[in-house]
């Protein structure tokens, strides 16, 4: 299925971006390219929808334009970062980096007056929002697969239908 494979390819690309950023951060290379901090963060909002769409299109071939709404959290978070975080100076990005990976290091004065902290509140909850999103998408994936197995009169753990068995393996 060509459409499902495209979603899988995009999912793998998201993993590449995330792993690259993690590699830069844990090997201290991020200090050399501090302007790249959080460049892959928006892709975290793509992983669950892409996995969902991959599984769904592996067992059902139709794609409706309304399904593009699955990418709305990614677009919103990307816009937020483009407007609120990416334009910040490198000192602010340095502080963001060390607060995540080296909290024992002191922050530097970045010269930014955070007069409106309510604009930045969502950054404190982004991990929880991603976790909730992933749990919902995985639950829906399991439910869709369960229905497909039931529709074909197969046990959920059956391997008689290779497409369904593969989709189940991808989720777990």
**For every residue of the chain, which 3-state class applies, written as one string?**
CHHHHHHHHHHHHHHHHHHHHHHHHHCCHHHCCHHHCCCCHHHHHHHHHHHHHHHHHHHCCCCCHHHHHHHHHHHHHHHHHHHHHCCCCHHHHHHHHHHHHCCCCCCCCCCCCCCCHHHCHHHHCHHHHHHHHHHHHHHHHHHHHHHHHHHCCCCCCCCCCHHHHHHHHHHC
pTM listed for this prediction: 0.87
pLDDT for the residue numbered 115: 58
pLDDT for the residue numbered 104: 94
Q: Encode the chain (172 residues) as per-residue pLDDT tens digits.
A: 889 999 999 999 999 999 999 999 999 999 999 999 999 999 999 999 999 999 988 887 678 899 999 999 999 999 999 988 899 889 989 988 998 899 999 988 888 766 555 566 777 788 899 999 999 999 999 998 999 899 989 999 888 988 888 888 888 8
């Amino acid at each position: 299925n060509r459409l499902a494979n495209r979603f899988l390819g995009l999912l793998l690309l998201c993993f590449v971006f995330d792993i690259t950023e993690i590699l830069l951060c844990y090997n201290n290379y991020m200090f050399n390219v501090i302007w790249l901090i959080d460049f892959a963060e928006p892709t975290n909002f793509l992983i669950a929808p892409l996995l969902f769409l991959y599984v769904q299109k592996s067992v059902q071939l139709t794609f409706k334009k309304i399904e593009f709404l699955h990418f709305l959290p990614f677009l919103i978070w990307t816009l937020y970062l483009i407007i609120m975080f990416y334009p910040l100076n490198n000192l602010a990005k340095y502080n963001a980096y060390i607060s995540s990976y080296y909290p024992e290091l002191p922050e530097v004065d970045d010269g930014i007056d955070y007069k409106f902290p309510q604009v930045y509140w969502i950054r404190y909850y982004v991990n929880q929002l991603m976790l909730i999103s992933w749990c919902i998408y995985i639950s829906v994936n399991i439910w869709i697969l369960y229905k497909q197995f039931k529709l074909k009169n197969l046990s959920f753990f059956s391997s008689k239908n290779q497409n369904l068995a593969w989709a189940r393996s991808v989720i777990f």
